[in-house]
Amino acid sequence: MIREGVKVDAGIKPQMGGTSINGEYFRMDTFAKAKFTAIVYGQTAGQELTLKVYEALNAAGGTPLQLGDTITMAQGIKVALAMVSPTSTTEGRTLVLTPYYFNGEGTLTAGTALTYTAADATSIPNRQFINTNDDAAATALAACINDATYGVPGMLATVSGGNDVTLSCTEPGGGDRQVTCEKNGTGAFTITESNAELVVVDLIQMADFEVYVQDLTRDSDYTHIQARLAEIETNAATCVVLERAMEGYGPVGQCAAYTDTSAAA
């Protein structure tokens, strides 16, 4: 079972805003490796935050040292889910979508960037969506993105709440790495709006940081690791998930209140 070999904890609890958040320190002396995954919701144009990982001597955070580099999570970059809300959109305003696909090595590779433009009438072959009112603009934009010929391969646009267009992947998380990119489904996409009339909000953006126990300052008895988020906007919700894996030990203990499996009773 996965739960017997990988221990999962909340590296930083889910919360809105917070400006700067330090997670707890977790021990690594009985684990071979660990991975922090930061998840961000709600960032808008121009916003970003940072993720850092630290090592320390103990759970109290004694004599902390940063591991690796600082990761900056900027709005619109390789997101898994986003929302666009056209609002009184002037002709000529643009939305650029760049899909990313998994290559045979499991890494994300950029596809073709496609530009969709607000116009006085919808023209799917020209990737133009009507701007006469907010609801009509949203419906037309979704139709452009979903078109089999002129849309974005591997992406899905869904209209909800009038003028809200949710952008997602046709296969969340990507598909079979052995098939072509178009059949594979996107793993993520980058979204860029030309101005505030196309209101874009990130719904899911992730970053991960992996730690190997041999890279800790072991000759000084560094045994614990921590995640830190900083420069968080008040409108952004965040959390960090920590996974730790062992070699030669097991099963691990989980701090889950409830558990079940797909196996028949």
Which residue type, as a one-letter code, is found at position 180? T
27 forms beta bridges with 224
Using one digit for the tens of pLDDT, what is the confidence trace for 32-85?
A: 999 999 999 999 999 999 999 999 999 999 999 999 999 999 999 999 999 999
**Which parts of 57-197 fold into alpha helices (H)?**
134-146, 181-184
Whether pTM exceeds 0.85: yes
* 204 CB-near residues (< 8 Å, 6+ apart): 39, 40, 41, 79, 80, 81, 82
Q: Please provide the average confidence, as pLDDT, over all residues in the chain.
A: 89
Q: Measure the CA–CA gap between 183 and 81, rounded to whole angstroms.
A: 19
pLDDT mean over 137-162: 94
Domain ranges of the chain: 15-74+207-236, 88-196
Q: Measure the CA–CA gap between 79 and 192, rounded to whole angstroms.
A: 11
User: Can you give the pLDDT at residue 58?
Assistant: 97
Using one digit for the tens of pLDDT, what is the confidence trace for 164-187?
A: 999 998 877 765 443 334 445 557
pLDDT mean over 217-245: 96
CB 146 within 8 A of CB 117: no
Provide the token pair at 123. Answer: 């023209």
